[in-house]
Every structure is written in structure tokens, then in C-alpha cells.
Structure 1
């Protein structure tokens, strides 16, 4: 089997396609959550705390400066606000995944808990049932 045909067989498996769809949807969902956190959740939260802009919240270890050659040296800072934004985004994504997995597990349990239909009675049992019903009718 040639490499191209092997790759085609591999790529067309259901699991690979499902994984690709999941990655694309996950990337889009990540962008939605980033926008939600950065533009919707954090600004009112910062306003409630006292006008704090979380995206600009940082601890500056070394201020920006200009070296002897006239080149600007950027500041060295710890971006606490960026970390908090990422943390909130993670919690939202993790909670959404938790809810999805919980729903899938509940559906799986319901599917497994459904009772199987009783097996079809054998010919002997059917014959004995007919005899019993005939005797009762007398």
C-alpha cells in the first residue's frame, strides 16, 4: 500500500475528522471566551474594584530606558492583569467543557440504563402457553 493511500485511509477515519472539527470549534470557542473576558467581564469587575484596568495591571521590575546608542530598552514587568485574564478564560472554558462532558455522561448512562426487551419465548413456551389458555377457556 502506497504512502498516499495509507495517509488517505488515516485521514478519512472518523476519529481524525472528529478531532479536526473539535480543534477548529475549540479555537473559535477560545476566541469567543477571550472576547467575553477581555471586553465584557473584566471591565465591569475592574470598575467595581475601583477603576482598575486589569489588562494594564503589572509589576514593573525595571522601567523602560534608552541605552547609550539611543535605542529604547523596553520595561521588564510581570503582567498580573494578563495572567488574571488568562485564568478567568481558563475557568470559563473548563466549566463549559465540564458541562458538555456531564451532559454526554448523562446521555450515556440513560442509554445504558434502558432495559433490553425481553427475549422472544421459545416455540415450546409458546405451545405451552396456548395449551394453558385453551384449558382456561373450558
Structure 2
């Protein structure tokens, strides 16, 4: 019952953060401050995304992800070609090549595995997530205009 209450409070805080709109990095709204306080970290040191990832990792008892986020290794230069020791370790834990994935993609793979979502994991591992789509093509001048 207590864990359900904590989960509801955390979800409420997350909803408050998102309902408050997008804030600049220098601006800390009450929802972000509350979520950071619940997690025992400083709101000025973490982004909303990092706080949400930290909350999920703590909820799931995933200490390696908690340590990864608290160390700020996730903020190192991103890109498939950049491989730092933290990213290499993270990729090794997932059993993938660190040079083939960004830090965000590694986190998506971890989340998909945690959720048991094989389709989401395959989506990221195949790099299909990198494809661009022309959803609303603009009409050409002339006949189509």
C-alpha cells in the first residue's frame, strides 16, 4: 500500500511537471522541485527527463541506472561515434556495441527490456528509430498547388 501511494505521488508530480509546460533549464517549477525532493536530489542539477528516469530506476530497484544517472555520465557528448567509459559499461551490460548506439538509444533498449517489450527493443536495435518520414508533404507548384 505504501509503495502504491509513493507511486501515485510520483506520478502526480510528473503530471504536474508536464502540465506546467516546458520550462527553460534555468527555471525550476514547483513540480520539478517536488519530484527532485522526493528523489533526494537537487532540482537544479537534473533535467525533467533525468528526474523521470531516476524515479523509474529507483521504483524498479535498478541501482546501476540510478548510479549512471547520478554520475551524470549520460550527459557526455552524445552520438554513435562517441564512446566514453560510462557508455561502454552501459552498452556492455546490455550486450550491445557502444559505438552503434547513442546514450538515449541505450536507455530505450534498457527500458524496453525492463518492460518486456521485444518489439520496442528490436525497433531501436535495428536503427529504424533513426529513419525520417515525410508525414505531410508540401504540394509542388503548378498542377498540385
TM > 0.5: no
Please give the TM-score of this superposition, normalised by the length of structure 2.
0.22
TM-score, reference length from structure 1? 0.23
Q: Between Structure 1 and Structure 2, which shows a larger proportion of helix residues?
A: 1
Higher Cα Rg: structure 1 or 2? Answer: 1
More strand by share: 1
